[in-house]
């Protein structure tokens, strides 16, 4: 699938077509991804504006808040407009701000999935992602439960987060996988093999922390130089680089500010030249 525009679209699982620039809803919470956000109304405005701008993929998790991000999404957007895909995750517990505890036991995943269905006011989750690999639980047990939930009609498509290629291949032998979400940006590229695998196999790749490259946008740095040359911001250049990295790339930059959302979405129209990309990667 070769996009006809810098952004283009991508089809997940053969039946969910979304614009490649999505929205990550983790920041619709309080400090440390814990509790309610300081400005609830602004978070709702961000979600409404995202839909107005044509964003079709909204990524969240039951652990964001916990439960806060999913609740705000449902309060704001339900009944969901046609074409909006809600992707959520299960497999992490919270011990407090910035505390993340793996729990991928089958019984917990079932409880988490049922909770997400209730909070999001859905009968089926379009894309349900295993949030992490739990070293205390056999990976096959976690995936087997997600397969059963899919067979029961509660999950449309199963996806993964924070995995390498061997884990991805193992998972695909148990249940069809439509996408992977790993930490990835211009300066953190340990998941290059996963990106390349997803590109070959037609799976989506959702880079979390997609703007990590912003920390190298100091005056005189490559992002700053390319941004100045292209009449864009360093953030937009970082996102445009991701979109150009592979056709399977589905960036999900998150924010709780409308102006930041608009800046991020506008990056989809930015085309980088080969010289730009060589400079950024050099």
Query: What are the catalytic residues?
Result: 64
- Nearest alpha-carbon partner for 87 in 158, 175, 191, 13: 158
Q: Are the C-beta atoms of 256 and 43 separated by less than 8 Å?
A: yes
Spatial distance between the Cα atoms of 75 and 144, rounded to a whole number of angstroms: 32
What b-and-e string marks burial along 62-101, b requiring 16 or more CB atoms within 10 Å of the CB? bbbbbbbbbbbbbebbeebeeebbbbbbbbbebeeeeeee
Spatial distance between the Cα atoms of 2 and 149, rounded to a whole number of angstroms: 33
Q: Which two tokens stand for residue 168?
A: 């991805």
């Amino acid at each position: 699938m070769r996009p006809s525009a810098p952004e283009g679209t991508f089809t997940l699982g053969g039946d969910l077509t979304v614009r490649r620039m999505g929205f990550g809803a983790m920041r619709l919470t309080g400090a440390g991804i814990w509790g309610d956000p300081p400005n609830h109304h602004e978070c709702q405005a961000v979600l409404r504006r995202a839909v107005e701008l044509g964003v079709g993929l909204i990524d969240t998790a039951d652990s964001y808040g916990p439960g806060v991000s999913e609740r705000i999404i449902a309060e704001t957007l339900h009944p969901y407009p046609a074409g909006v895909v809600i992707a959520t995750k299960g497999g992490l517990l919270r011990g407090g701000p910035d505390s993340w505890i793996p729990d991928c036991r089958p019984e917990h995943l079932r409880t988490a999935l049922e909770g997400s269905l209730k909070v999001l006011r859905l009968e089926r989750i379009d894309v349900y992602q295993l949030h992490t690999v739990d070293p205390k639980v056999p990976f096959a047990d976690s995936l087997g439960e997600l397969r059963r939930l899919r067979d029961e009609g509660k999950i449309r498509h199963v996806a993964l987060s924070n995995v390498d290629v061997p884990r991805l291949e193992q998972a695909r032998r148990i249940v069809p996988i439509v996408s992977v979400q790993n930490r990835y940006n211009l300066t953190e590229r340990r998941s290059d093999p996963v990106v390349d695998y997803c590109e070959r196999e037609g799976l989506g790749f959702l880079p979390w922390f997609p703007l990590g490259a912003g920390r190298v946008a100091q005056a005189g740095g490559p992002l700053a130089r390319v941004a100045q040359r292209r009449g864009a911001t360093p953030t937009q250049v970082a996102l445009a680089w991701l979109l150009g990295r592979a056709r399977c790339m589905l960036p999900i930059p998150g924010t709780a500010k409308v102006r930041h959302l608009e800046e991020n979405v506008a990056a989809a129209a930015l085309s980088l030249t080969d010289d730009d990309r060589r400079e950024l990667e050099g």
